[in-house]
Amino acid sequence: MNADRRRWAIASVLTVAVLCSPLVRGQDSFPLSTYPMFSRARDVRARVAHVIARHADGSGTPVPPRVLGTAEIMQASQIARNAAKDRGRAEDLCRRVAERIARDGDHHGVVAIEVRTDDFDAIAYWEGDRAPRRTRIHARCGVAGGDST
């Protein structure tokens, strides 16, 4: 075998070895992927920090992002997550949202605001079971004039 063929053979073997290395290392990596994120058991819990408006009948609904001071859903989500990390922030957000709800004519019957984190079973949620598995209330405050309809 001449020197050029030997170099090409070595280069070919090295290229194939590099391409197959993710299979040996057990990693999800370029250029070959074993996609382990689909083969491992995953946590089915979905944790959601949000602000809930409690109505006189006991029901609750998430407040729209504009009540949190933004038009963006992702920003509203981050505002709730940040507030859930600190009791003082949660209480401050709760008071501000309660004041906005009290001034806003679109939220009749809202008697309280909750800044909370709910854990849902993600699979059960999409099968229709929307009840949280666990709820942590970080702050709760009343809404002035909330008992009127």
Domain ranges of the chain: 3-38, 45-142
Task: Give yes or no for residue 65 having a pLDDT over 90.
Answer: yes
> Dihedral of the CA atoms 67, 68, 74, 75 (nearest 10)?
140
The terminus-to-terminus CA distance of the chain in angstroms comes to 92
Counting Cα atoms < 13 Å in the Cβ hemisphere of 117 gives 16
Angle between helices 87-103 and 73-84 (to 10 degrees): 130
Q: What is the pLDDT of residues 123-146, one digit of tens each?
A: 999 999 999 999 999 999 999 876
pLDDT at 144: 86
Name the band, by pLDDT with cuts 50, 70 and 90, for residue 36: low
